[in-house]
Structure 1
Amino acid sequence: MNASVISALAALVGAGIGGLTSVFASWLTQRTQVRAEWRVHERARLQDLYRDFIEEATKCYVDALQHNEPDLAGLGNLYAKISRMRLQSSRQVADEADMIGRKIVDTYLAPDKTFFEIREMLENGSIDILGKFSDACRAEFESLRAQQF
């Protein structure tokens, strides 16, 4: 073979390898950026869902403490959010949300609480039905943050 042909082939192969390396690096960078953006979006979506659930659960729980007749619209909204959590959240978060829904329904079946009884519940901590749910959400967010790196 002619030395000039070998030089030309070596130059072409080198240019091809350099081009492929550049394309691969760009693809890898783009893929990493898209994944990071998706995780940020997913986290924001979960935060909105959890915030809305906490607000709805609080309203339903306060209503359940004061009334025997359930707020069916509120309970429907609450269980819609629980169903969304079953699709989007970890099993632990969804299970804790379901337990809150059950506690609220059970509270409607119990006698109405007086202000004095509510004060006692505040003092002994039994009024806080969202504590374990909040802990499960925090653990899930820490898990998402760990996956990011």
Structure 2
Amino acid sequence: MNASIISALAALVGAAIGGLTSVLASWLTQRTQVRAEWRAHDRVRRQELYKGFIEEATRCYVDALQHSKPDLNALGSLYAKIGRMRIQSSRDVADEADVIGRKIVDSYLAPDKSFLEIREMLADGSVDILNNFSDACRAEFASLRAQLD
């Protein structure tokens, strides 16, 4: 075989390998960036969902403590957020959200609380029905951060 043909083939193979390596590196970089953007977007979406849930649950709970007639629109919105959590969140977060929903419904069935009773509940911490939910959310976000490392 002619030396010039071997040199030409070596150059072509080298160029092909270099081009393939470049394409593969670009693909891996793109894939990594897309995953990072998706995770960041997912985290923001969860934060917004949890924020809305906490605000809605607080409104519903305060209403439940003071009234025996439930605000069905607010409860519907709250349970819609719980349903979204069942899809987007960890099982622990969704389960804790469901516990909060049941506590709120149970509070509507309990006798109305006076302002003094609510003050006592604040003092002894029994009014805080969101504590376990907050802990579950914090653990979920820590888990998501660990996946990025």
Question: What is the aligned-residue RMSD (CA, Å)?
Answer: 0.6
SS for the counterpart of 2:140 is helix
Q: In the alignment, what sits opposite 2:42?
A: 42
Structure-1 residue corresponding to 2:113: 113
Residue of structure 2 equivalent to 1:87: 87
Letter in 2 for 1:12: L
1:148 offset after TM fit, Å?
1.3
| Cα displacement (A) at 1:119 | 1.1
Task: Return the alpha-carbon distance in structure 2 between the equivalents of residues 49 and 84 of structure 1.
Answer: 8
For these two proteins, the number of residue pairs brought into alignment is 149
Identity level (%)? 79
What are the Cα deviations for residues 3-50 of structure 1, in whole angstroms up to 9, with x where unaligned? 111111111111110000000000000000000000110000000000
TM normalised by structure 2 equals 0.99
Gaps of 5+ in 1: none
Q: CA deviation digits over 1:70-93, x for unaligned, max 9? A: 000110000000000001100000
For the residues of structure 1 that align with 2:5 and 2:72, how far apart are their CA atoms? 83
What does residue 6 of structure 1 align with?
Answer: 6
Aligned AA for 1:116? L
Q: Distance in 2 between matches of 1:118 and 1:66?
A: 9
* TM-score, normalised by the number of residues in structure 1: 0.99
